[in-house]
Amino acid sequence: MSKKFIYNEMMAHIPMCSHKAPKSLLLVSDKPEGIEAELNRHSGLNITTGGLDSIGNGEDNCYDIVLIDSKAELSTATYAHLNRIVKEDGLVSALNGSLQEEEATTAQLNALGQYFKIVMPYRAGHSTMILASKEYHPTADVILQRSDLIDGLDYYNCDIHIATFVMPNYIRSTYKGAIKN
């Protein structure tokens, strides 16, 4: 049985319930339908969908949240563009290959850490994402009321939201200094 709903719910609701009042979101994905369906559970959200070029072509301070559902390796310039297009209290959630790929993960964490105050990996089934935030901490600032009032979910809830950021000690020590929380 496919568990794609886990990925879609976690990619959408972790950042949406970490930001105080998201209104504008850029979804970078080749197959956005599942994530868009989850995002549509949040009223008043303006969703722009595009490819990786949407990041470089985005307007300054335009998005509250950017979701990157792509396995493509991001360049240094792309991280600088993310910083530019995300608002002062904005955040980014990006797919990460695997925490077992230490060199690539450390590079991604460090690149995001140049621009974002908080940079933390989180798990969604067999996938790992990285949340990078300029202001909101994904476990301290979780919007509990919003996370508990989303109807029709199969996986995500406020307990999962907090628990997904829990990492074993060997991961913490491997990425000490790169994870910023």
In this structure, what CATH number is given to the domain that contains residue 43?
Answer: 3.40.50.150
Give the count of domains, the chain. 1
CB 13 within 8 A of CB 156: yes
Residue 24 in contact with residue 42, Cβ under 8 Å? no
CA angle 65, 69, 70 (to 5 degrees): 130
Partnered with residue 44 across adjacent β-strands are none
Judge whether 36 lies within some domain. yes
| Residue 179 is assigned to a structural domain of this protein | no
| Number of residues that make up the chain | 181
Residue 150 included in any domain? yes
pLDDT computed for residue 45 by the predictor: 96
Is 180 within the bounds of a domain?
no
pLDDT in tens, 116-145: 999 999 998 788 999 999 999 999 988 877
How far, rounded to the nearest angstrom, does the alpha carbon of residue 12 sit from its chain's CA centroid?
A: 8
Q: What pLDDT sits at residue 2?
A: 61
Q: What is the reported pLDDT for 175?
A: 95
Q: Which residues of the chain have pLDDT under 70?
A: 1-2
